[in-house]
């Protein structure tokens, strides 16, 4: 049934599991979610109805802004036949008058699943502890696990495999996306390189954990601040914004000074393998068509930041396929954790 299926482990049951970080999931379980996502994508393209969770209700809690994650959860929910409620701090008691834990204890009496996007990972972990229904992490300061599933799916669509590929992340190597990519690569057998200034390398404890996982899966985790060596012979280059949501405005100047040498541009692409691709979780500052992009231009004179417009708009760039795959993969997570 699954074109890309390599999952041969028999029955897989993820019912009632939280989805908080990829460290909690085995390679087989991730494989199963990817297979489901490929299948859901095929069904959607062929117009095959799949309202498998008709009558169930889910709630989306957002303490930070979102386009992709929110819409992916909403559309995935509707396609599965569910009812979806969106709550942000401006329209609920969450945070101001009621703790996240109490909010979770109320919501799990009404809903079958809860998505949370916010600040510390410890918040989503305690939310999950307080909830009797599955909790899905839609991004915290430390991790962004649903993003990784879409990234792996996009890589697989292009290369028809995951194991043995060479993956480099350039930029803020210790943000939520970079942390999660390092875990995802280690779990799924891709050689991971973090190409960042030393000040922005991931925490040693997470690197050590990922190196142990990588060894089990026949791949490596490398940290370098050498752009030429770090990007040589890579198959996938990935970047993300230089300043993440929740960080203070004042860090921009320092971050720009640290990261301008680590931009993904044509020189980087030319150093990679001929079939290489570019990925970005989005949103991206690749031109001056955003408020922040223009204000950075006015203050620091940059026309583009983490990726050049040339690379972003090139045929190497798979960022919009990647964005679409957020929906198919999130649908797989919802389905796998809620189906009877
Ligand atoms: N990639 C991602 O999570 O995008 P949003 O912030 O728009 O959800
Ligand atoms: N690192 C970024 C990812 C956005 C999807 C942020 O947290 O803002």
- Read off φ and ψ for residue 221, nearest 5 degrees: -125, 120
Is residue 249 within 8 A of residue 286, CB to CB? The reply is no
What pLDDT sits at residue 90?
Answer: 85
Sole residue written with tokens 């919802």: 334
**What percentage of the chain exceeds 90 in pLDDT?**
91
Does 243 contact ligand 2 (Cβ within 6 A)? no
Mean pLDDT value of segment 275-291: 96
Does 29 contact ligand 2 (Cβ within 6 A)? no
What pLDDT sits at residue 61?
Answer: 94
What pLDDT sits at residue 89?
Answer: 81
Q: In this predicted structure, which of 94-108, 110-124, 315-329 has the lowest mean pLDDT? A: 94-108
pLDDT band at 303 (very low <50, low <70, confident <90, very high): very high
* Chosen CATH of 166-234+236-271+277-315 out of 3.40.50.1370, 3.40.50.300, 2.40.50.140, 3.30.360.10: 3.40.50.1370
Q: List the one residue out of 57, 77, 130 whose CA is nearest residue 100.
A: 130
What pLDDT sits at residue 64?
Answer: 95
Q: In this predicted structure, which of 32-41, 96-105, 109-118 has the lowest mean pLDDT? A: 96-105
Crossing angle between the packed helical segments 176-188 and 27-46, to the nearest 10 degrees: 100
Q: Which ligand does the CA of 279 lie closest to?
A: 1
What pLDDT sits at residue 307?
Answer: 98
With vertex at residue 11, the alpha carbon angle to CA 6 and CA 15, rounded to the nearest 5 degrees, is 110
What pLDDT sits at residue 6?
Answer: 46
pLDDT band at 10 (very low <50, low <70, confident <90, very high): low
Q: Chain-centre distance of CA 308, in angstroms? A: 21
Read off the pTM: 0.96
Question: pLDDT tens digits, residue range 107-129?
Answer: 999 999 999 999 999 999 999 99
What pLDDT sits at residue 9?
Answer: 52
Residue 28 has pLDDT above 70, yes or no: yes
User: Could you list the active site residues?
Assistant: 117, 144, 147, 240, 281, 326
Residue 79 has pLDDT above 50, yes or no: yes
> Chain-wide mean pLDDT for the chain?
95
Helix (H, G, I), strand (E, B) or coil at 154: helix
Q: Whose CA is nearest to atom 6 of ligand 1?
A: 66
Does 147 contact ligand 1 (Cβ within 6 A)? yes
pLDDT band at 235 (very low <50, low <70, confident <90, very high): very high
- Read off φ and ψ for residue 36, nearest 5 degrees: -60, -45
What pLDDT sits at residue 95?
Answer: 80
Is residue 39 within 8 A of residue 2, CB to CB? The reply is yes
Counting ligand 1 atoms within 8 A of each CB, the residue from 69, 88, 323, 330 with the most, and so the one to mutate, is 69
Question: pLDDT tens digits, residue range 126-157?
Answer: 999 999 999 999 999 999 999 999 999 999 99
- 301 burial (CB, 10 Å; 0-12 / 13-18 / 19+) is exposed
* Chosen CATH of 22-143+325-338 out of 3.40.630.10, 3.40.50.1370, 2.60.40.10, 3.40.1280.10: 3.40.50.1370
Strands 191-195 vs 57-62: parallel, antiparallel or unpaired:
unpaired
Domain span(s) for CATH 3.40.50.1370 in the chain = 22-143+325-338, 166-234+236-271+277-315
- Tell me, in angstroms, the distance from the centre of ligand 2 to residue 173's CA: 12
pLDDT band at 3 (very low <50, low <70, confident <90, very high): very low
What pLDDT sits at residue 104?
Answer: 87
Distance CA 313, CA 311 (A): 5
Does 213 contact ligand 2 (Cβ within 6 A)? no
Residue 338 has pLDDT above 60, yes or no: yes
Does 131 contact ligand 2 (Cβ within 6 A)? no
Residue 83 has pLDDT above 50, yes or no: yes
């Amino acid at each position: 049934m699954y074109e890309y299926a390599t999952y041969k482990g028999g029955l897989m049951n993820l019912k009632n599991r939280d989805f908080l970080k990829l460290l909690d999931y085995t390679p087989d379980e991730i494989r199963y979610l990817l297979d489901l996502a490929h299948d859901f994508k095929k069904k959607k393209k062929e117009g095959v109805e799949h309202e498998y969770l008709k009558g169930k209700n889910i709630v989306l809690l957002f303490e930070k802004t979102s386009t992709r994650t929110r819409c992916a959860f909403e559309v995935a929910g509707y396609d599965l036949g569910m009812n979806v409620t969106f709550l942000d701090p401006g329209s609920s008691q969450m945070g101001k008058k009621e703790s996240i834990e109490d909010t979770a204890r109320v919501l799990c009496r009404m809903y079958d699943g809860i998505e949370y996007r916010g600040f510390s990972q410890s918040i989503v972990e305690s939310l999950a502890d307080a909830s009797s229904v599955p909790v899905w992490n839609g991004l915290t300061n430390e991790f962004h696990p649903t993003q990784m599933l879409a990234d792996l799916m996009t890589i697989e669509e292009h290369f028809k495999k995951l194991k043995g590929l060479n993956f480099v992340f350039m930029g803020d190597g210790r943000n939520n996306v970079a942390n999660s990519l390092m875990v995802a690569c280690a779990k799924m057998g891709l050689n991971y390189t973090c190409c960042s200034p030393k000040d922005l390398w991931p925490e040693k404890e997470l690197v050590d954990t990922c190196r142990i996982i990588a060894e089990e899966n026949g791949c490596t985790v490398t940290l370098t601040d050498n752009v030429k060596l770090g990007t040589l012979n890579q198959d996938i280059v990935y970047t993300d914004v230089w300043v993440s949501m929740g960080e203070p405005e004042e860090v921009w100047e320092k971050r720009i000074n640290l990261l301008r040498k680590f931009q993904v541009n044509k020189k980087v692409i030319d150093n990679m393998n001929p079939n290489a691709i570019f990925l970005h979780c989005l949103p991206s500052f690749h031109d001056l068509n955003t408020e922040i992009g223009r204000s950075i231009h006015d203050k620091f004179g940059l026309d583009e930041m983490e990726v050049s417009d040339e690379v972003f708009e090139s045929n190497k760039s798979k960022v919009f396929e990647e964005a679409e795959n957020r929906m198919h993969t999130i649908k797989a997570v919802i389905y796998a954790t809620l189906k009877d």
